[in-house]
Structure 1
């Protein structure tokens, strides 16, 4: 399908304002209009979904896809088309099988750096031997982290148990196997290697991250080098962007930061309407840029999370505008500021839609209430 080219100029000196960046990012994040993509294709396009908890990937896709049902993600997870695995920023993501085997090697240097934080608890531990032993254990039988720690302690009784577990997670691409991650099911975290679960080897670490740079821009651009480094938890990506520069367009944001983009990527008019969206906690839209002002107004910086706790967030006119939660009998919407009557109606309608998608059997049992952000 041929995309309609934006009227935005491709002059390298062109400045993209905050609203232009917002609309471009929303379009690529499938949040400006819902996409007919399958759940698996959307997970691939978005380079994974934050999945620290079980439910967020489902709510993330409900906000982005036309015709989505929880089963559309739960079924491919059971069928091993998507998996839960630690990748970017040392956090659990839901990835396609392909990306689990390719993105994890790409971010391995970051996992190696993470491991140095635990070196005092690993005195005398041969990390290569630990990785080989842990692999044998989880491939012989999927293990909980507690079971894995207990087995590793037999080999290194003087080591810190927590550090041994972190070492196994950092050294190996461990996936959480179902029923963990399935909608409406419960299950403790049980681990095996991605290669064992998916029945094929991980691809070797790429010599260059160029392909991932292009995919990142397709999902999050226009973006700076620092933006992508924030998303990936990696450093030293400047060389890749410089190699790709002849294939890319360049812009500046309002602070003068250089931004890169794909020539044929959509950059909608800044005046394009952006409907309300209910996002889960830790949604990648809010975490994948060094400069988050394209979606987080400066006055609301830090309002979407507190410490290590993230909240479910509300977008209004494309930007962070409040929080939401599901109480026992109500969807409670807590705007940060005053919403106009038209905006309240749109937000309520979107909330009703979300409830019907995610909780079709009980959607009509929920009231929709507007409140004030607590604290």
Structure 2
């Protein structure tokens, strides 16, 4: 029996599980197990909507895996024995594997700045988003400070401001919002934030989060009734503790086929992997996560058939950013994620963004049925491929 254990059931992990189930459905010697801490699937592409108080579908991982022949185990991964090929769950149960797919992703780096862990909300899960939504709903007024002016911070600030017009929303960060976009796209983004009443404080560094304020480098204080932290992520220390080769950020270093360079029976995908392409090491996004999961499934299926895995090649396509429910900006990119001249705004961008956001979990069922084709295309070296 070929025992394949997949750690993590986000976009990358479930893409790997369903695609591999489809590719091996005619085999009786393959057992696939998915381990995740929660039964609820986290739609990371929509967490800003949930956090603002919008009601979205309650997606359950066992339902998304229904009919795939995949075992689901709910529990926290507390240890990986890479040499012994074992995984410990909740310090009690042990799963043995022949191949491991490591897809535990990344979480907010709450240790980077004092006070974040105690005084700020994060968006690592649907549960986190629910907690923030309840807090915002209970505020009669006041100020919400969003720390981090990357795309996640922008989406959160815009969504909260639109949904809760009685709250003052402040977006604080080192860089200008939309810094990686072309001037036209960036200008549209700034106008949208201004229209929603979001105050932007850029070029500053948060050095401490206090119970009722945020302290900036230089001593300035920004009062806050609620603080949302979206500035920076970290990966769990499990991979390093297991003796897997990791980079300076703790991500598993892979070969071109997504296998660990130190333990080839381990595949690393999504945010947990340091995957090098011609333009450099990929950065984690939902856009790149699902393709790594699909490719890992293909590689394992090829190994089971006695064939060599193929190299993974990926190029970025776009940076879609919602600006509330009635506006958005889509920055199209080169494969290395640098911006092209082309961008969309307004209704066309809203439609585009919604199409992207709603395409994630429905793909899992299609990957079971049509694994050879897949349900989406991604860019390989600047070309589109299936």
Name the TM-score, length of structure 2 as normaliser.
0.28
> Which structure: greater helix fraction?
1
> Which structure: greater strand fraction?
2
Name the TM-score, length of structure 1 as normaliser.
0.28
